[in-house]
Amino acid sequence: MTKVGPHPGTSRMIRRAVTLAITLTMVLTGPAPAALARSADILALLRAVPGMSVQERPSTEDGVRWFWLRYRQPVDHRHPEGAWFEQRVMLQHRSLDRPMVFHLTGHNVPETMFETEPTKILDANQISMEYRYYPGSRPVPTDWTKDTFWQGASDQHRIVTALKSIYDRKWIGTGGSKGGQASVIHRRYYPDDVAGTVAYVAPNDIDDEDDSAYDRFLATVGDDPACRARVRSLAREILERRPAMVRLLEAAAAAHGWTFDVVGGIDRAFEYSVMDYETGFWSYNDEADCGSLPSPDASDEVLFSSFDRVLGFPFFTDQALAPFVSVFYQAGTEMGWPTPSYPHLRPLLRYADGYGPRSYVPRDIPMTLDQSVLRDVDRWVRARGTRLMFVNGGNDPMTAEPYRLGPGSRDSAVYTAPGVKHVFLGEVIGRLPSWQKERAIADLRRWAR
C-alpha cells in the first residue's frame, strides 16, 4: 500500500540531474532524442524518468523484457502540488522500433506476463496500467472523492506523457470490460495520447434508471432456448432451497474464515449471488457448458457445488469485496450498475432493493450517482469519435448497452463476435467473421503505422 506525502525534493533533484546529463549528452553528441533512446539500455532510460521507480523481473516470454514500474501521481490532478501516491504499471518491452499498446485494466494488474490481442497482432510493446485506488495503487489516507473517471484518465495521460519520449512509435489504447470503458474515457479527455482505441466488451450504461436492455438481452441470448430456460430454472430452484443452501454456505464460510458484514449478512450474500447467476453464467461460460449443469431435482450438495463452479458463492464475502471497493465505488458514483428485473426470481427475493454497489462498499464511504461523464463520453463517441473500434461478445450481457457510433464518428467500427462471452484478454477479433476480422486487423495495423 502506498503512502501519501509531500513530493520528496531530494529524489526530484537526483532525477533532474540524470535528465540534465542526458540532455547534455544530446547537445554534445548530436543525436535526436529517439536516436539517443535507441542507443541506450531501456532500463537506464526508464530509471531516468522523473517520478518513476523501476524493477526488472525475469521474463517468461522469449524476446520480451519484463518491467514493473511505480509512478508518482497526484491524488488530485487539479492540485498536482498536493498529496501523491504511487501507481503500479507493468511494461513488456520488445523494441523501441515497435508500436506501444497501452492496456488499461480498469482494475488491478495481475502478477504475470500476458499479451492483449492488439499486442499480438502488432507484435508490439505493452503497458498494463493498474487503476487508481486498487490496493496496490491506493493513496493513504484515502479520499474516495478523487476516485473518478477524469482523475483516472489524467493518471493515464501522465503515464503516456512520461514514456512517449522513450517509445516514440504509435500508441494504441485498449482494454476489456471496465478497462475498455476506461480506454474510451481516456480518449475522450486526451484524444491525442493514442492513435487509435480498441475497446473490448465495454459497458455503456448511461441511464441507470432504465436497465430493460438487459432483460431483452437475457431473453434472447445464445442459440438454444432450452439452455436459457435451464439456467433460469436452476437459479430459481437454488433460491427456493434457501435454508439448505444457506446452511451449506455457512459451513463453507466457517471452513474458510469468510465474513459477510459489508453486505449485511450471509442471507443477503446468498440472495445477491443467485441474482447474479444468470448474467454470470452467460458472462463467464460458453453455451456448450449448459450440458454440464445439473437437473433441478439434483441434491442440495450437487446444486451448491455446481453454482459455486459457475459463479462462486464467495464473491460477496468481506474478503472478496475488499480489493474491489474502487470499482463498486465508481459504479455507485459514475458508472451505474446493470440490474435486470429478474421476473423468474422476483416472488422469492427478500432484499432486491439492496442489490447494487451501495451494498458492496463500506457504509462510511458516501456515494451519490452522477452519470454526466458517461453521457458526455457517449455523445463524444457519436459526434467526434475517431479511430475507435468496439469489439463485443455476442453472448456477453455487459454489451446489452453498448457504445454506438453516430453521424460524427470517423474511421471507427463496432463488431460483435458470435457466441463470445465476457472476454477481458482473450481472442475476440480472431473470432469475428473472416471479412470483419480482416478489416479490423487492417485498420489496427494502419492506425499503428
Q: Any idea which of 24-38, 109-123, 266-280, 343-357 has the lowest mean pLDDT?
A: 24-38
Whether the per-residue pLDDT at 268 is higher than 80: the answer is yes
Query: Same structural domain for residues 27 and 160?
Result: yes
Query: Same structural domain for residues 33 and 140?
Result: yes
- Overall average pLDDT of the 172-192 stretch: 98
Query: Same structural domain for residues 162 and 84?
Result: yes
| Residue 106 within a domain | yes
| Residue 45 within a domain | yes
Domain boundary among 340, 360, 380: 360
Query: Where in the sequence is the domain holding 316, given as residue range(s)?
Result: 220-360
Average pLDDT across the chain, whole number: 92
Whether the per-residue pLDDT at 10 is higher than 70: the answer is no
Q: Please give the tally of structural domains in the chain.
A: 2
Q: What is the pLDDT of residues 298-332, one digit of tens each?
A: 999 999 999 999 988 899 999 999 999 999 999 99
Query: Same structural domain for residues 288 and 377?
Result: no
| Residue 88 within a domain | yes
Task: Quote helix, strand, coil % in the chain, to nearest 5.
Answer: 50, 15, 40
Domain boundary among 360, 390, 413: 360
| Residue 349 within a domain | yes
**The domain that contains 394 carries what CATH number?**
3.40.50.1820
Domain boundary among 334, 360, 386: 360
Query: Same structural domain for residues 21 and 126?
Result: yes
Query: Same structural domain for residues 2 and 87?
Result: yes
Please, what's the b/e burial string for 102-137 (b: 16 or more CB within 10 A of its CB; e: otherwise)?
bbbbbbbbeeebbbbbbbebbebbbbbbbbbbbebb
pTM over 0.95: no
Q: What is the pLDDT of residues 17-55, one digit of tens each?
A: 333 333 333 333 344 455 445 546 999 999 999 999 999
Query: Same structural domain for residues 271 and 339?
Result: yes
- What pLDDT, on the 0 to 100 scale, is given for residue 15? 34
